[in-house]
Structure 1
């Protein structure tokens, strides 16, 4: 049996047995019990200038093949969001092309795609509220024209200029009134983006969630759901319990998704969250298998499959959380979905070798390595490249 070599934060080498791949199979029919989106990353061309500050040069074949793989497991794709390195290497031109191409793939595959709508194509750091509204609307209408479901992301421009909760109400009211299809609202916490401190007009989630719920109640016919990314299960459950009928809660909590998605099915609360997670891009087959277990009325199997992945996700998303994209791309490479461990903007260097080693260890434990022998070969080659005996 093969063994994986690992390296600790102190530089000590150790070995563990390489597990066989999980027995997960692709679903024979659409998933029913939960709506689940994997927030997908982008793959750069290997020979591109993938250094900080350079425009994104995308390997479209690998990037779109990754999305086709997600669809094959019954999940939807959430694209052009923070996992795709919005504001961390994915520039405005590449974002627009990604949305166009991803929407085309969704139509070809019969899959569901939602895409990020923001104000980040505006280069000026500080703009007026009216300009924030105009920038949002420009991206919103572009997403609608491509046939993709819009996810109204949190805007740094709005966070900079808003004086209080009424400014958030004004902006969201104006943007939502122009939407031609229901949108998902995204509340991204400061762990993911420190510039969003005080979003929805308050630093504490209790007050801010009241503003969010006011916005949803006022525009309920324009809101399909809300994605909570605060890494705080209490806040998500609190908002979830107060949502209007027909408005979904999409968990973006990569720390606590097992219980939040399981909900009353596994004995927690009287409802459940659906999913829109960067973690599900890293563990797509496992996530699919877990939801298939819920579809089959087997919550114990759901827990047995998905619970072991939460420690992996917590490690991938550890502080500084916004570098989690490195772990997603690393697992994509280990699992054979891209030719090299490269990222736009040089972000593949954002995590240490021991951090990556722990990802390998936890992915092996949770059956998240799709081709274990390939993962071993690639990881050991990386160790040797760094002067370590593998």
Structure 2
């Protein structure tokens, strides 16, 4: 039985894009990487922040990415719905229309929508009622249950005060009201606040039919393993570089071997915490660097030149921790590392 048949968690890897240069996507290599993720039984979370959404990947390119990936899907696929094609001075009705335009693209492509947080909505909303208006309308329009994405300010400082509250407890109450108002339209919520205790409390407060997809790249093994009251499923950026290792661990978990799940996962946690260290939104650089060291792409280059966002010391430590975690071949990675150092 393959790993994909034995998982008892729903798991998505938020996949990066492979760049041909600092302005263009290498479509063949990008789609090949999605097939790599599917081959290990992981779903693909497409056009999310790992794919440089809003940091090099604009909406026209994201729409093409969603269509291309969904057209040849070999496993689960969900895709980000946002408002990143709007100008900065957009009003609330503009934000809603932009969400609806992107929602139509994702649904027509055949991917499950992930309603991402919107910088434009954060700027335009005046209170929780504005979030209810926008998200309520979106949920009324979806053709299948969607994932609601709560991205914290560590990932995007422009999302301060999201859900209409300055504090996390208040935002949580407002968020839960939206979920409870239409539970049949919500497959799950993805929480990326890097606060395990908050996530556990939130998932216990969800309707019984709504999943909690952890987006916590610091504490994911414990959250996925769960406790006597439940567990988190996963939609994680770290699953991009650690897919083969994560698949082995998830297979053990499905077999009931929680100890072996933790043993396999444990070495990936220091790597993840390093990649997602502050400023957290530059984690994408380390993810792409490891994909290059693993041989999934021919060049270490990113859209918008984002490969320069992390320094040599950070990347050297990422390489060391990735070797310990067993996600790259040490000899092959060392050759590429020396090649890269010599070219600088």
- Same fold flag (TM > 0.5): yes
How far apart in 1 are the matches of 2:319 and 2:150? Answer: 30
Which of the numbers 252, 256, 261 marks the counterpart of 2:219? 256
- Determine the structure 1 residue equivalent to 2:298: 339
- Determine the structure 2 residue equivalent to 1:40: 15
How far apart in 2 are the matches of 1:183 and 1:350? Answer: 33
Q: What RMSD over aligned residues (CA atoms) do the two structures have, in Å?
A: 1.2
Alignment of 1:65-214 (within 5 A): 65-106=32-73, 109=74, 111-122=75-86, 124-214=87-177
1:147-200 deviations in Å (ceiling 9; x for gaps): 000000000110001111111111111111111111100000000000000000
- Determine the structure 1 residue equivalent to 2:282: 323
User: CA, structure 1 residues 28+233, in 2 after alignment: closer, same or farther (shift >3 Å)?
Assistant: closer
Q: Is the 8 A contact 2:3 2:251 kept in 1?
A: no
- Determine the structure 2 residue equivalent to 1:299: 258
- Determine the structure 2 residue equivalent to 1:9: none
Matched, 1:382 2:340: yes
Deviation of 1:380 (Å): 1.9
1:45-69 deviations in Å (ceiling 9; x for gaps): 1xx3x1xxxxx41101100000000
Which of the numbers 192, 195, 198 marks the counterpart of 1:232? 195
How far apart in 2 are the matches of 1:383 and 1:132? Answer: 44
Deviation of 1:357 (Å): 0.4
DSSP 3-state at the match of 1:349: helix
How far apart in 1 are the matches of 2:204 and 2:38? Answer: 30
Matched, 1:277 2:236: yes
How far apart in 2 are the matches of 1:31 and 1:41? Answer: 26
How far apart in 1 are the matches of 2:230 and 2:136? Answer: 28
- Determine the structure 1 residue equivalent to 2:331: 373
How far apart in 1 are the matches of 2:341 and 2:298? Answer: 17
Deviation of 1:121 (Å): 1.4
Deviation of 1:207 (Å): 0.9
Instruction: Give the structure with higher Rg (CA).
Output: 1
DSSP 3-state at the match of 2:79: strand
How far apart in 1 are the matches of 2:232 and 2:316? Answer: 31
How far apart in 1 are the matches of 2:10 and 2:33? Answer: 19
DSSP 3-state at the match of 2:239: helix
> What runs of 5+ residues in structure 2 fail to find an aligned partner?
none
1:326-353 deviations in Å (ceiling 9; x for gaps): 0110010000000010100100000000
Deviation of 1:93 (Å): 1.2
How far apart in 1 are the matches of 2:6 and 2:194? Answer: 25
Deviation of 1:44 (Å): 1.0
Q: TM-score, normalised by structure 1?
A: 0.86
- Determine the structure 2 residue equivalent to 1:14: none
DSSP 3-state at the match of 1:64: helix
Deviation of 1:31 (Å): 3.6
Q: Is the 8 A contact 2:196 2:219 kept in 1?
A: yes
User: CA, structure 1 residues 311+330, in 2 after alignment: closer, same or farther (shift >3 Å)?
Assistant: same
Deviation of 1:32 (Å): 2.7
How far apart in 2 are the matches of 1:322 and 1:334? Answer: 21
Q: Is the 8 A contact 2:6 2:255 kept in 1?
A: no
DSSP 3-state at the match of 1:34: coil
Deviation of 1:28 (Å): 5.2
How far apart in 2 are the matches of 1:241 and 1:288? Answer: 26
